[in-house]
Amino acid sequence: MKKAGLLAIAAVAALSTTLMAQGPAWSPPPDYVTLPLWPGAAPGEPANMPPEVDMNAAKTKTMAGRPYIRLGNVSTPTITVYAPKGKNTGAAIVVFPGGGYQILSIDLEGTEVCDWLNSIGVNCILLKYRVPDSGPYPKSPAALEDAQRAMGLVRLHAAEWGIDPNRIGVLGFSAGGHLAAALSNHYERRLYKPVDDADRLSCRPDFAVVLYPGYLALAEQAFAPNPDIEPTADTPPTFLLQAEDDPVHVENAVVYFLALKNAKVPAELHVYAAGGHGYGLRPRDLPIMGWPKLVETWMHTIKVLPAQ
């Protein structure tokens, strides 16, 4: 064999060894329950998809001075159950990280949020949904299919996981906020062919927390309401929060709040002067960073959590 060929083989072997040593772009804690969302391939998902990757491997994207994982190429969605270590109130929230339906901010708007929810006695189910180009619905149904399926699976396993099946909500950031609103209004029928008992259970959230959402108001149409998200009287109670200086536009939260109000859905809206976008729970010296306490108080108000 020629020297060039040997060098090429050695280079490939070295690269393979490096990739194996790096391990997966993100893995849930090994002692936590993690389930594949689908028994086989996800609906419409082609075979031989590229492996998941951290699009922020160079750590150039940061929030509050720390980098965060931007998980890409998710073709095998999962749910991971984060159960409270102490008191379990029985309430649960399925968390949808944001990322423009292109990546998932899996720690900034996922695992870190689950840690907070656990601290107040709430079960957290982190949904790793498909990206890229998986939404917004109806442009692509993939992320919404994953959200519907996740809600059914949580209800199916509720007793096993110490969860009250009538106190399961959703919480989403940015595109995940849109996904929370989409699921709140598209739950009467599955977008996919049912596969098992989980798909015979309701996928309607009992409440929704929608944080700095996108896609709910159409900027190119003078911020008209998105006609694909139409609240009715059966849309679950909703908490909304966004900053006025959010480059994704505060009108997303405001317009959706008005649509909920007109449909007579109990809703609470908080608008702050400053905050920007994509902050999750990372500490910054801004009033908007008190949002977790506001959400906790609201959950007491709607009786998802017991009276204080």
Give the model confidence (pLDDT) of 213-242 as tens digits: 999 999 999 999 999 999 999 999 999 999
Mapped onto helix, strand or coil, the DSSP state of residue 133 is coil
ω before 136 within 30° of 0 (cis)? Answer: yes
- What SS3 state is found at 127? strand
Report the alpha-carbon distance of residue 207 to residue 302 in Å, rounded.
Answer: 9
Based on the number of CB atoms within 10 Å of its own CB, is 202 exposed (0-12), middle (13-18) or buried (19 or more)?
middle
Tokens of 149: 């399926």
pLDDT value at residue 56: 97
- Taking residue 59's Cβ as centre, other Cβ atoms within 10 Å add up to 11
Label each residue of 245-269 as H, E or C.
Answer: CCCCCCHHHHHHHHHHHHCCCCEEE
In the chain, the domains with their CATH numbers are 29-301 (3.40.50.1820)
User: Which one, of 90, 93, 114, 95, lies nearest residue 163 by Cα?
Assistant: 90
The number of CA neighbours under 13 Å toward the Cβ of 250 is: 14
Measured on CA atoms in the order 301, 169, 283, 121, is the torsion positive or negative? Answer: positive
Please name which of 134, 224, 223, 143 lies closest in space to residue 179, comparing C-alpha atoms: 143
10 token code pair: 């050695």
Tens place of pLDDT per residue across the chain (308 aa): 444 444 444 443 343 334 334 578 999 999 999 999 999 999 999 888 899 999 999 999 999 999 999 999 999 999 999 999 999 999 999 999 999 999 999 999 999 999 999 999 999 999 999 999 999 999 999 999 999 999 999 999 999 999 999 999 999 999 999 999 999 999 999 999 999 999 999 999 999 999 999 999 999 999 999 999 999 999 999 999 999 999 999 999 999 999 999 999 999 999 999 999 999 999 999 999 999 999 999 999 999 999 87
Q: How far apart are the first and last CA of the chain?
A: 76
Phi/psi of residue 172, each to 5°? -140, 150
- pTM across the whole model: 0.92
Q: CA-to-CA distance for 136 and 116, rounded, in angstroms?
A: 27
